[in-house]
């Protein structure tokens, strides 16, 4: 498993990012010396995944302010880099009060600790012999260390409850086939990459016991935005009576956003879909709260009605 500082770190005069576009084939660092360079790295997905984007932005802001850049300009360019993951704005708001290297590194450390806590809560939801299906990458690469949904898979495996993972390849940028498969291989968890469109027939064949994903923004009523394709999985899981678990830190819960309709959905360059023909490329979709079995944060397991559960102390598994 990659150390947090190997994924994203703040050095004296730079933010250093492991280029996730080139994984797993090559481990190459991208060195950013200004807020604008960090913002470009976020937009172009050198670093991606809601918590990791937040951490990189916090590092970029502190670096910029410490090296004399205008704080408002630095905040603006970072905040505009990607619209859906609320962790970006959350992390910037966190370091505004104390724009120091220590505070930004502490924010990173705390996100990783939140991952460990929520993964332990989520693992308790797994029955022995579970065959889980996951979508996109919600591992250490996406959270700056350990992982959320992938962290839950690791914790469940350590507790002898996880037998196998189906890994959606996750078109168009293949975060599942490239990053999740690599992370599971690194920790020795049995898995198989599947076409996103194969999930339905595997569910129908009774080969999937639960679906577990991360999240980019959880609205106050529990509606949850995550990688495009998550909503399809939620509908399929509901039809087949399979539980859907969303594992995400409280930094991804956005009580200021009332419901899914209010979540900004990023539309990325159509050429990521087709370099030749006209295309549409929404990067995220919204799963309505009623299709979610439980949302697991570091505080515990939140079950329906999520609109209450997200603002009250969480229950156990």
Kindly write out the interface string for residues 191-210 of this chain, putting x where it contacts ligand MRU by CB under 6 A and - elsewhere: --------------------
C-alpha triplet 289, 115, 17: angle, nearest 5°: 110
**How many C-beta neighbours within 10 Å does residue 149 have?**
32
Nearer to ligand MRU, 65 or 180 (CB): 180
Closest residue to bound ligand MRU by CB? 214
Specify which residues 79 forms β-bridges with: none
Candidate residues 63, 95, 138, 306; the one interacting with ligand MRU per rule CB under 6 A: 138
Q: Which conformational region is residue 18 in: left (phi greater than 0), alpha (psi within -120 to 50 degrees), or beta? A: beta
Nearer to ligand MRU, 99 or 249 (CB): 249
The minimum distance between CB 154 and ligand MRU, in angstroms, equals: 13
Q: How far apart are the first and last CA of the chain?
A: 26
The minimum distance between CB 85 and ligand MRU, in angstroms, equals: 6
Q: Which stretch binds ligand MRU (CB under 6 A): 45-53, 57-65, 72-80, 199-207?
A: 45-53
Candidate residues 152, 189, 215, 296; the one interacting with ligand MRU per rule CB under 6 A: 215
The minimum distance between CB 132 and ligand MRU, in angstroms, equals: 14
Q: Which stretch binds ligand MRU (CB under 6 A): 29-37, 49-57, 289-297, 302-310?
A: 49-57
CA 17 – CA 64 distance, rounded (Å): 16
The minimum distance between CB 202 and ligand MRU, in angstroms, equals: 20
DSSP E strand boundaries for the chain: 8-11, 14-18, 29-32, 130-134, 162-168, 191-194, 210-213, 217-219, 224-227, 244-247, 253-254, 284-287, 294-297, 300-303
The minimum distance between CB 267 and ligand MRU, in angstroms, equals: 12
Nearer to ligand MRU, 99 or 144 (CB): 144
Q: Does 51 bind ligand MRU (CB under 6 A)?
A: yes
Q: Measuring CA to CA, which residue among 292, 282, 298, 296 is closest to residue 84?
A: 282
Q: Measuring CA to CA, which residue among 291, 272, 154 is closest to residue 230?
A: 291
Nearer to ligand MRU, 94 or 175 (CB): 175
Q: Measuring CA to CA, which residue among 110, 167, 159 is closest to residue 138?
A: 167
Q: Does 55 bind ligand MRU (CB under 6 A)?
A: no
The minimum distance between CB 138 and ligand MRU, in angstroms, equals: 4
| Long-range own/partner contacts, residues 12-19 (CB < 8 A, 24 or more apart) | 13/63, 13/67, 14/63, 15/41, 15/56, 15/59, 15/60, 15/63, 17/41, 17/46, 17/47, 17/56, 18/47, 18/141, 19/46
Kindly write out the interface string for residues 270-299 of this chain, putting x where it contacts ligand MRU by CB under 6 A and - elsewhere: -------------x----------------
**Residues 155-194 within binding reach of ligand MRU (CB under 6 A):** 175
Q: Which conformational region is residue 146 in: left (phi greater than 0), alpha (psi within -120 to 50 degrees), or beta? A: left
The minimum distance between CB 76 and ligand MRU, in angstroms, equals: 21
DSSP character string of 206-220: T--SEEEE--SEEET
Q: Does 48 bind ligand MRU (CB under 6 A)?
A: yes
Annotated catalytic residue, options 75, 196, 216, 285? 216
Q: Does the annotation mark 163 as catalytic?
A: no
Q: Which conformational region is residue 32 in: left (phi greater than 0), alpha (psi within -120 to 50 degrees), or beta? A: beta
Candidate residues 9, 15, 49, 75; the one interacting with ligand MRU per rule CB under 6 A: 49
Catalytic positions are 216
* Contacts with ligand MRU, residue ranges (CB under 6 A): 48-51, 85, 136, 138, 142-143, 148, 175, 213-216, 226-227, 283
């Amino acid at each position: 498993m990659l150390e947090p500082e190997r994924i994203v770190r703040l050095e004296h005069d730079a933010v250093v990012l492991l280029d996730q576009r080139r994984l797993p084939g090559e481990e190459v660092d991208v060195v950013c010396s200004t807020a604008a360079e960090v913002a470009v790295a976020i937009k172009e997905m050198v670093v991606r995944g809601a918590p990791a984007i937040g951490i990189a932005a916090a590092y970029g802001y502190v670096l910029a302010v410490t090296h004399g850049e205008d704080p408002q300009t630095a905040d603006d360019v970072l905040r505009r880099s990607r619209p859906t993951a609320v962790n970006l704005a959350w992390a910037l708001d966190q370091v505004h009060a104390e724009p120091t290297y220590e505070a930004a590194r502490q924010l990173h450390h705390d996100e990783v600790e939140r991952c460990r806590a929520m993964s332990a809560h989520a693992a308790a939801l797994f029955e022995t012999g579970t065959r889980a299906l996951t979508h996109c990458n919600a591992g250490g690469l996406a959270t700056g260390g350990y992982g959320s949904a992938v962290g839950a898979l690791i914790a469940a495996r350590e507790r002898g409850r996880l037998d196998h993972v189906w890994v959606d390849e996750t078109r168009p940028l293949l975060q599942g086939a490239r990053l999740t498969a690599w992370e599971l291989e690194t920790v020795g968890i049995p898995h198989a990459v599947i076409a996103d469109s194969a999930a339905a027939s595997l569910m129908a064949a009774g080969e999937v016991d639960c679906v577990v994903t991360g999240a980019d923004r959880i609205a106050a009523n529990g509606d949850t935005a995550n990688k495009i394709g998550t909503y399809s999985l939620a509908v399929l899981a509901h039809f087949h009576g399979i539980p859907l678990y969303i594992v995400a830190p409280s930094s991804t819960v956005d009580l200021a956003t009332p419901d899914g309709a209010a979540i900004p959905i990023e539309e990325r360059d159509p050429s990521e879909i087709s370099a030749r023909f006209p295309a549409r490329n929404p990067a995220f979709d919204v799963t309505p709260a009623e299709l979610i079995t439980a949302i697991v944060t570091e505080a515990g397991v939140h079950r329906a009605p999520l609109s209450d559960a997200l603002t009250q102390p969480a229950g156990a598994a």
